[in-house]
Chains A and B, each alone.
Chain A
């Protein structure tokens, strides 16, 4: 039997092979995972809540089916695999706090489609993961329940907003987690924590039951340590959902062409990204090295221009806050959530509850959105931002007429230290290479390509796919994985260590 400390370090295939061979039971996987979380998460603080009962129940179903002689492959692509969820995803009977005081006491009466689909695929739901409050942030420092730490260096941030989801995988607590990405919130923490992190094309995964930040930008995706694990998870969660009318039919096996290699593929490199001010040399060097490796493997590198991409940040900080302002209006203390006590009038209760229930970054974005949508201001910002959005979408579409995939940096730098970036606008620059992809709606992912020469922290290469051709970037990612090897568990947490 495998040690209880190792399930989180295993791949999906390895866990399923063990289950199929009877080396361990799904219940042992569940118990072992909780033991591991209990031992190591005190230092990482990835989890906000663990869901032992639900995981053991799911495990019992898998074990019963195996005992009845059924084949593991019939039980779903994630059968027996522990999965964690960002805490903006509803799971019936568990808290969904979005790392906010506002929802500290909120218990979900229903389950999000992406979560439900992992459960239908046989996953063991192990718990809810820390994040920036309502996904506003790039470091998980805005969580009302304390930050998550980067398993590679506990003094550094794991990135954000899906910091808990990334750190849990990097620390070997679980093999797979789900996160959400509005401007880089999957890819940037994936890069900071050195794991595979996929934001599929907008519409590939249902958003139903995922607490909205920017409805037109949000997309759910997996974190894993191998490209195949990420692809298997995508297979389970993707596709049309009648409850989300922006979701699309996706009849694709994301694992199908992972082994095809990149020979003959045309891979775009954006000079404006590689020469961007603020991009650190250690990140640029690693990305350039990855490009060279792909060329060695037979891909053709093509320089492409995205002339309007530099306006993405401005458009994002108009559209994102506008949608967030409206999406967060429902948190008003009346029906659920934080209610400031003792108020006799509705207006007073609204104001005090929202002032005290939301943290500073949430308040900042709500106020920004409220201003940007107000009469007289709307025409000057929201409308031009939508026009910019159209231009950027066209830029990507035009670029993909001649290439199959784009290679770019994920973040301008590796993980920074806690408190190192205090100015919000400087923090916003963390997403300078990821935001335009949310604006355009394309799929993007972070692929670990080793450690930076200066900081010794993980560096991610960003791969961007044409809309609904997400398998292109997974194919390139698999080629890079063959070169750089599967993402390792962070050294201080490898082999069952707990970060001491």
Chain B
């Protein structure tokens, strides 16, 4: 099978996403008063409504409507004031009524978009990006200095209810094949779910991944879901098709499921694009089918062939009156909209002089952006001066530590004050960057202030030119052969001299000063 970049020489991939988010931060289900709780004993959060018992009727959860309007406003959607619920009819035991209550042609949120900053390695997936000059546009992308911005359309976000959970017993790995029987847990039945559908505007797996990441950041910022891809509260299906470069018409698409992490989303789509290219290049045809990404086998497998479109017999839900949202309601929700990641990043750039790249990475997680802001507050007058090194510390060291340890930042001994103190010690040349890394590790391991650690370990960096001068002279005098080599043009030996000086100073010499003095003396 060809590699993605080879495939892109001939083929253009067209990708659209369908992203389901459970509104896990609500107290109760979509159409009844049952509690929302992940991991409760099976069928303990049920009632006549979510069990679909004869005679039961739905009552919409107003807080869920507020959540979806919030999601729509945060993704630049038009909020439809007049929309309706529909019944999607299909029979399966996880859906007790045998129809799912969802929305029809008009959803609460329509016609939105998100702009993705694609740069660094992610931008390299885009075919012949370098044909564009900075500021130049092609289709939905605009070239930037170090990548491009992709404008991705959002068709709609609609409200629906989740199904119950099926557990197949007796087969392998909980799969239905070979199972002796199946159990249904209706605790999840009726969980409020919002489904966002994108336009087929994505062209690379990286764009799909970045879209999903950005959407997740937004949903977390507005607080409507815990967005756990592992627990399934954020789920993504991808529709992928190929067409020859330059062709207008879409190819036949497949629907990809089970991409339950950002990596799986990227790798699943990349595999599927390469698979389709191979089939097409061998003269085969793509069938409209649902495929399952198997991350361990690193391939997609057929789940279900759709010979004809499913007929869900959609019709307006007669038990729920058409929904009319007032301007006052929409404005009330708009007022609850917090600062969104993009806005926060722009503020960081402007207030602290950060680069766009640093600002974007800081706002990727709420805890890191909050921590950064707390650091800036702790830095006081020095905020602007320390912003860049603090951002580096947070983006690199802190993030790496949190990922490696799997802990929350708030649960570590690293306070904003300690972080600022550490950065200040390094910025004032009191300690070297190497020492700073040791102090960082020690703060986390020993729960002590950086100053105290530096003191305890006698780590003070010697930057005093006089003290260093003496050591430099000593080292030069003791190594005439190396001096000769340096003078012959082998300037790399300066590393040897720095090492010797450092050794004599027990690692506490300021490497910058040592370098300067060495260069000056050797040039004499």
Contacts and interface: CB of A to CB of B under 8 A. Distances in A.
Nearest to A217: B318
Given A215-B318, A246-B321, A326-B87, A98 B59 contact: no
B46 to A, nearest CB: 11
Given A215-B319, A245-B321, A350-B91, A90 B57 contact: no
Interface in B299-332: 309, 311, 313-315, 318-321
Interface string B43-56: 00000100111111
Given A109-B53, A373-B315, A245 B48 contact: no
Contact of A210 (B53, B55, B97, B311): B55
Contacts of A208: 55-57
A326 B57 contact: no
Nearest to B54: A211
Contact of B309 (A90, A98, A375): A375
B57 A207 contact: yes
Contact of B48 (A110, A322, A373): A110
A244 B314 CA distance: 22
A214 B319 CA distance: 10
B96 interface: yes
Contacts of A325: 89, 313
Contacts of A329: 89, 91, 97-99
B60 interface: yes
Interface residues of A, number: 43
Contacts of B55: 88-90, 96, 112, 208-212
Interface in A15-54: none
B93 interface: yes
Contacts of A103: 54
A330 B97 contact: yes
Contact of A244 (B52, B57, B96, B309): B57
Contacts of A242: 59
Interface residues of B, number: 28
Contacts of B99: 326, 329
Interface in A222-252: 242-246
Contacts of B58: 245
Contacts of B59: 242-245
Nearest to B60: A245
A346 B93 contact: yes
B97 A374 contact: no
Interface string B93-110: 100111100000000000
Interface in A296-354: 322-323, 325-326, 329-332, 334-336, 346, 350
A106 interface: yes
Interface string A238-268: 0000111110000000000000000000000
B54 A106 contact: yes
Given A215-B319, A330-B96, A346-B93, A374 B57 contact: no
A89 B51 CA distance: 17
Interface string A374-394: 110010001000000000000
Nearest to A244: B57
Contacts of A280: none
- Which of B48, B60, B318 has the most chain A CB atoms closer than 10 A to its own CB? B318
Given A243-B59, A330-B96, A373 B89 contact: yes
Chain B interface main SS type: loop
A317 to B, nearest CB: 15
A326 B315 contact: yes
B320 A245 contact: yes
A212 B59 CA distance: 15
Contacts of A243: 57, 59
Given A215-B319, A246-B319, A373-B315, A330 B54 contact: yes
B119 to A, nearest CB: 45
Contact of A209 (B56, B87, B320): B56
A374 B319 CA distance: 20
A4 interface: no
Interface string A108-120: 0110100000000
B60 A216 contact: no
A374 B313 contact: yes
A325 B91 CA distance: 12
Nearest to A203: B321
Given A245-B60, A329-B98, A96 B54 contact: yes
A88 B309 CA distance: 36
B476 to A, nearest CB: 87
Interface in B382-398: none
B313 A370 contact: yes
A216 B54 contact: no
Contacts of B309: 375
A325 B51 CA distance: 18
A378 B54 contact: no
A373 B60 CA distance: 24
Nearest to A373: B313
Contacts of A334: 93
Contact of B53 (A110, A207, A216, A382): A110
A396 B48 CA distance: 36
A349 to B, nearest CB: 10
Interface string A453-467: 000000000000000
B469 to A, nearest CB: 86
B508 to A, nearest CB: 74
Contacts of B93: 332, 334-335, 346
A99 to B, nearest CB: 13
A418 B98 CA distance: 36
B317 to A, nearest CB: 8
Contact of A326 (B48, B54, B313): B313
A283 B371 CA distance: 84
Nearest to A331: B54
Nearest to B313: A373
Contacts of A214: 318
Given A329-B98, A330-B97, A245 B91 contact: no
B87 to A, nearest CB: 5
Contacts of B97: 329-330
A326 B319 contact: no
Contacts of A110: 48, 53
A107 to B, nearest CB: 11
A373 B97 CA distance: 17
Contacts of A335: 51-52, 93, 96
Contacts of A331: 54
Given A325-B313, A332-B98, A378-B315, 4 more contacts: A103-B54, A330-B54, A373-B315, A374-B311
9 contacts: A88-B55, A110-B53, A245-B320, A329-B99, A332-B93, A335-B96, A346-B93, A373-B315, A375-B311
